[in-house]
């Protein structure tokens, strides 16, 4: 972590804000790496390629993110769209992994 990292409420200039944004982006990437690790695990565990796409689960994940964003006072509909992209990308990744493991 950058020694100059400050939480948003303690930032006093744009250099501190930019350091915080960059640090947060790195942390988000670490979390995405873990999330995609779960996609690799799902690809390994699921024995039927046809169950990789689960529309009910997709809807649940996206709604959970939208509701969480709303509770936090964040732009819920915009984040819902980002989560839809994230879930679709995750499904595509899991399908590639499913095929890779079995070929």
- The model's confidence at residue 8, banded by pLDDT at 50, 70 and 90, is very high
Task: Report if residue 2 sits inside a domain.
Answer: no
Domain that holds residue 79: 8-102
- The model's confidence at residue 1, banded by pLDDT at 50, 70 and 90, is confident
Total domains present in the chain: 1
- Show binding-site residues: 18, 35, 46, 94
* pLDDT of res. 15: 97
Q: Where are the alpha helices (DSSP H) in 12-102?
A: 14-45, 55-71, 76-102
Counting residues of the chain whose pLDDT is more than 70, the rounded percentage is 100
Task: Report if residue 78 sits inside a domain.
Answer: yes
Task: Report if residue 34 sits inside a domain.
Answer: yes
Q: Mean pLDDT across the chain, nearest whole number?
A: 97
- Answer yes or no: are the C-beta atoms of 88 and 52 closer than 8 Å: no
Q: Whole-angstrom Cα distance, residue 76 to residue 94? A: 26
The Cα-based distances of 15 to 1, 12, 39, 53 in angstroms read: 15, 9, 36, 43
- pTM for the structure as a whole: 0.91
CATH number of the domain bearing residue 21: 1.20.59.10
- Answer yes or no: are the C-beta atoms of 89 and 75 closer than 8 Å: no
Please state the rounded mean pLDDT for residues 31-45: 98
- Show binding-site residues for substrate: 18, 35, 46, 94
Residue whose C-alpha is closest to residue 16's, from 27, 5, 1, 32: 5
Other residues' Cβ atoms within 10 Å of the Cβ of residue 103:
5
* pLDDT of res. 2: 80
The pLDDT tens digits for 40-75 are 999 999 999 999 999 999 999 999 999 999 999 999
The vertex-26 CA angle with 69 and 97, nearest 5°, equals 85
């Amino acid at each position: 972590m950058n020694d100059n990292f400050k939480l948003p409420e303690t930032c006093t200039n744009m250099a501190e804000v930019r350091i915080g944004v960059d640090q947060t982006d790195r942390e988000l990437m670490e979390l995405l790496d873990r999330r995609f690790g779960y996609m690799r695990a799902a690809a390994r565990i699921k024995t039927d390629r046809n169950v990789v796409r689960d529309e009910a689960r997709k809807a649940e994940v996206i709604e959970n993110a939208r509701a969480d964003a709303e509770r936090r006072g964040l732009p819920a509909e915009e984040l819902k769209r980002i989560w839809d992209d994230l879930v679709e990308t995750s499904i595509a990744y899991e399908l590639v992994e499913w095929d890779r493991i079995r070929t």
